[in-house]
């Protein structure tokens, strides 16, 4: 009977831990590029415009993910504005 109680307790702890796990933010899968060739063959989803704040990097990636994109093509290296794309095989 003790083995059964321990197994149930272990199952409860594992289930609780799995339920508390936080998935990675969608923006983690967004790759950022300045190179137009990196989005060749990708679907343009829309413009990404963010305020140039210390958090602009994350805001731009979050906006790209919100649009369904996995690649952000930045306008230039001075601003985080650009275009969101969905590319079939976008690696980091």
What is the share, in percent, of the chain residues with pLDDT greater than 90?
64
In a domain, 82, yes or no: yes
In a domain, 61, yes or no: yes
Span 51-69, average pLDDT: 96
In a domain, 80, yes or no: yes
- Going by pLDDT thresholds of 50, 70 and 90, the confidence category of residue 36 is very high
Range of the domain at 81: 26-86
Concatenate the DSSP letters of all residues of 50-86 into one string.
---STTHHHHHHHHHHHTT-SEEEEEETTEEEEEEEE
Q: What is residue 92's predicted lDDT score, i.e. its pLDDT?
A: 46
| Size of the chain in residues | 92
- Asked if pLDDT for residue 31 goes beyond 60, the answer is yes
Q: How many domains does the chain have?
A: 1
């Amino acid at each position: 009977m003790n083995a059964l109680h321990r197994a149930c307790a272990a199952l409860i702890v594992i289930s609780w831990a799995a339920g508390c796990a936080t998935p990675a933010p969608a923006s983690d899968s967004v790759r950022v590029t300045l190179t137009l060739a990196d989005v060749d063959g990708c679907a343009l989803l829309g413009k990404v415009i963010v305020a140039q704040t210390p958090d602009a990097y994350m805001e731009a990636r979050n906006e790209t993910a919100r649009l369904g994109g996995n690649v952000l093509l930045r306008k230039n290296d001075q601003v985080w504005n650009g275009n969101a794309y969905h590319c079939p095989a976008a690696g980091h």
